[in-house]
A and B are shown apart, each in its own frame.
Chain A
């Protein structure tokens, strides 16, 4: 069996090096090695989006990325979203729109919303629904989540 692989990454703006087995996913390493448990595991086969993170500017299911593939990459997780001066507008919009109930899908949805708004600052409701179709929520019926993302969009436009 080959030994562990040394991987250098930037996680939430900080240099992070870790050792991983060749078969370990980015999700496993984030949660078990780097102790960033804000990224959730709902299915481990890319169907629920609870493990959504942004890798090199691209929204990914971290359960479908091998940790070794992150070599040299920039990873953004839910833990890195809050700025020192306060919550990110998407986080604030989720709170004020009551867009979470149990909250397990919330980190994934917030990262998915960030992935969308980074690319498209003014998505329509239909675009939001299409983009977020890879993230499952079983509590809210998506209504308040979609509204929160529309609200975040507005907040971010106002804040510039």
Chain B
């Protein structure tokens, strides 16, 4: 692959090389996934939740319990039965319907946070790795500083300082997180920067922006996907933790962490209010972690090299 693009003409070989490279990585990832029952299980769990997000209005027996402000004191704190699979909460709302709808915010926020983190980490990490020098120093020192603050504490501090709202929640969790992303990206960029095809592109006078976008960024996709799938799991947990502390999603929106937090005050007699939403957080996080862990193995030469 390398030999081809050092010798060939830029316009025709570069996209070809990129797509080849990507295809090989994806197929490799798939091969590893297929041989790893744990990652497949992760993929299955995540798929089920994605399906639930889409099908929540159809599946939920009492959708208005999650979307509206309906309360029904006549049926409050009922234990799990056939009519209420996960029981009802302190306001007589069906916990099952609320857990189903809760998947929307948890997944949505999880993806939003990871997207924000990825973009910040990608931009700053590739600038640091590609240009080096002062830019590298400044970005990585700021990153070091952020990494030395406990992530959850910093997120808490940011929410307390700026106030509670969904966009601020995304910022509060992504801001302390980008350095972890940027470090990985920077390492990859430095590795790619030294590859023959980048040198070749440089020698024929390609601008550094073009090299960055055409040659370096496409090669980062594999690393990014792995990081992202691991981070989604963590982001969902962070959202739940902040929700549990009352700093995340606010009622009447439905969010799992918030549900556990309210349910905790009804422990131990009305355990279903806290246990089921918590189980949902765990399952979804577990799915992403299993998937991400398997994918990472597929791309990490240290753990896949057969010795």
Report if A and B associate in a common complex.
no
